[in-house]
Amino acid sequence: MTRRYRVAVEGQIHTAVVSDDREAVLAAKAAGMASVEVLGRSGGGSSFLTGYAVERLEDLSPEYLEQVVRRHLGLPWEILRTRRLLIREFQPGDETQVPEDEEAGRGDEVFRDRELLEAYIRCQYGFCGYGIWAVLEQETGILVGKAGVTNLEWGPEGTGEPEGALELGYHIFRPWRRKGYGLEACQGILVWCRDQGLLPVYAKTDASNEASAALLRKLGFHLADQRYSGSGPQRDLFVRNY
């Protein structure tokens, strides 16, 4: 079974090949077309051909096909829209809009360096399908911050707690604070996580950061644990109940 689908992305029509025949999938890849392998009809197992697969043809959705084509074209996935914000994957060029900020967390240099950002897009989004995303004003298209979810790690040793849990993170750039963008973005992301079955979601903040702790409580988090990160300040671990 091999089918071709016409997929519209940003006003252009592209072809995506969907097949349970590995030769057909390889041929589509060689021809420069986006492709999806159907695993169930060929006995299941992991796909190493294109990175995109469904168990059954019935599992294929227009949204998934658009994502596959977007990834094939090197275009960012749109994650969600809120009343005022667009949350999408970062794309090359966004690094020019990310300001230096003394409050930025560890690892934020990734989003200010073109080469590091391209590696992050390829490895984090391509492998996990989630990560830290760009937050833009819908009205202006301006990048106002970043927010998303990553695999939960605790402390400098990087010990996971619990296994498979996600950590919510956000950073609204200074000129766009006090507009409620952090709350609005995080609310949308938590709904997205629930809809995707990506639970539980945790969040961490320094005990001294009262504004961050207050925002987490507004989002429905409650305090689960407190620890010291070696010589650093006390860290609070919040967990969200669904």
pLDDT of residue 223: 86
pLDDT interval class at 226 (50, 70, 90): confident
Q: d(Cα 59, Cα 209) in Å, to the nearest integer? A: 44
- The whole-number pLDDT of residue 79 equals 95
pTM: 0.81
State mean pLDDT over 197-208.
87
Q: Helix 210-218 crosses helix 181-196 at what angle (to 10 degrees)?
A: 50
Q: Are 13 and 30 in contact (CB under 8 A)?
A: no
Question: In which region does residue 92 sit, left (phi positive, over 0), alpha (psi from -120 to 50) or beta (all else)?
Answer: beta
The partner residues of 53 in beta bridges, in order of sequence, read: 37
Judged against a pLDDT cut of 70, whether residue 96 lies above it is answered with yes
* Lowest mean per-residue pLDDT among 15-19, 78-82, 150-154: 150-154
Residue 75 scores a pLDDT above 50: yes
Residue matched to tokens 């760009």: 134
Query: What is the predicted pLDDT for the residue at 64?
Result: 87
pLDDT band at 230 (very low <50, low <70, confident <90, very high): low
Q: What percent of the chain has pLDDT over 70?
A: 84
